[in-house]
Structure 1
């Protein structure tokens, strides 16, 4: 009996996973730390705040300070994702010629980009969803000892599908920047800047407008708009990659 053949689609995806294993490890460690911190808030700090309102204040363990810090960190994760996607996932491989080498091994440019985006998107979406659900649960359950309003960016961004949409946009922006610029550092800067602008627009810049609305209409509207932008960025990335690789063979 012969072993089943590995499809050409699976090969570039597994290669992408091997190549970016350090980034996946960092993402996994970050997930564990964030989950641990959120559970610590719920299990330890929130009950302590309820039990003794006159307890001495300590900035590093105050329940509001810890939760606000976690919200800020989670709301800015997408910018780091965009920087990594633009620089390491796409830009660097176009810059050093690794991508062209893959294209000579029966892997089309479109399939190469798809494999990279898929390998990154699956753990990114799963992890962001998990953190969003846990953050929303802790914030809702312990709201009696928290002073933040749902419209504040440190709550609005990480507590719903908006965080996942921002991560998807970050990945798409990084891919487009990497394909367009074909240089790691410029792609890093452009992708991070675009994602930061999107995060600011749908978070902090709209603080005075969001309170007049309800949580879910805001979340779903912002999420839909971000996913449309992500789809446009991905379409542009594939179109640009296809146009460049169709000119003079696989030269980019």
Structure 2
């Protein structure tokens, strides 16, 4: 019961300042919490991605023979890491408002984010541009090889990262809008 009362007090954002009682509206409270979480996520993933990218680009190939299109490297050296984390924050907020229980909301948000990760991994080959070269075309459905048996060229990395990041940020914005709508319904 104490945890419920603590969460209600935190939710109402009661601030006592110089004898005045100020109560923040629920939408302002949610916006402040989401902005704070998003700032921490962006800062944390920027540092993590920067360190991973530096290590990946400066290490000798024989110590870490990985290519940009491998899943672990692809997630670690670009903008999609931040976008997935922001989607997770937005989904967590939405799940928390809909389920109103911490552990089930955490589980639901993690499951939705993991499901989206697997879905995007399956769709990623179809997001790649088809390039026709003198050696043949790179067919998106092939996965990782060109018609000549080579690998996807490095210039495809950033367009692919940015397309996927855009999709994820649009989904995160949708989840955020749905969270505000759910909050409005709870407090209307």
Shorter-chain TM-score: what band? 0.7 to 0.9
Per-residue CA deviation, residues 14-53 of structure 1 (Å, 9 max, x unaligned), is: xxxxxxxxxxxxxxxxxxxxxxxxxxxxxxxxxxxxxxxx
Residue 209 of structure 1: aligned partner: 143
Unmatched 5+ stretches in structure 1: 1-91, 247-252
The structure 1 segments of at least 4 consecutive aligned residues displaced by more than 4 Å after TM superposition are 92-96, 204-208, 210-213
User: Does 1:142 find its partner at 2:59?
Assistant: yes
Does residue 1:97 correspond to 2:8, yes or no? yes
Q: How many Å apart are 1:175 and its aligned residue?
A: 0.5
CA contact (8 A) 1:162 1:223 kept: yes
Cα deviations by residue, 1:89-126 (Å, 9 ceiling, x for unpaired): xxx87995345543794110001101111222212201
1:130 paired residue number: 47
Tell me: CA distance 1:239–1:99, structure 2 relative to 1, closer, same or farther (3 Å): farther
Q: CA deviation at 1:174?
A: 0.4
Alignment of 1:162-173 (within 5 A): 162-173=80-91
Q: How many residues align?
A: 155
Q: Which residue of 2 aligns with 1:114?
A: 31
- For the residues of structure 2 that align with 1:175 and 1:108, how far apart are their CA atoms? 17
Q: 1:219 aligns with which of 161, 167, 176?
A: 161
Structure with the bigger percentage of helix: 1
TM-score (norm. length: structure 1): 0.55
Q: Deviations over 1:115-143 (max 9, x none)?
A: 11122221220110111122112111225
Q: Distance in 2 between matches of 1:120 and 1:234?
A: 13
Q: Give the C-alpha shift of residue 181 in structure 1.
A: 0.8
* Secondary structure of 1:148 counterpart: coil
Instruction: Flag the 1:204–1:152 CA change in 2: closer, same or farther, 3 A.
Output: farther
The answer to whether the 8 Å contact 1:157/1:203 transfers is: no
CA distance in 1, matches of 2:98, 2:76: 30
More strand per residue: 1 or 2? 2
Q: TM-score, normalised by structure 2?
A: 0.72
- 1:130 is paired with a residue of what secondary structure? helix
Q: CA RMSD in A?
A: 2.6
Written as runs of structure 1 = structure 2, the 5 A alignment for 1:1-252 is: 96-102=7-13, 105-145=22-62, 146-203=64-121, 206=124, 209=143, 212=152, 214-246=156-188
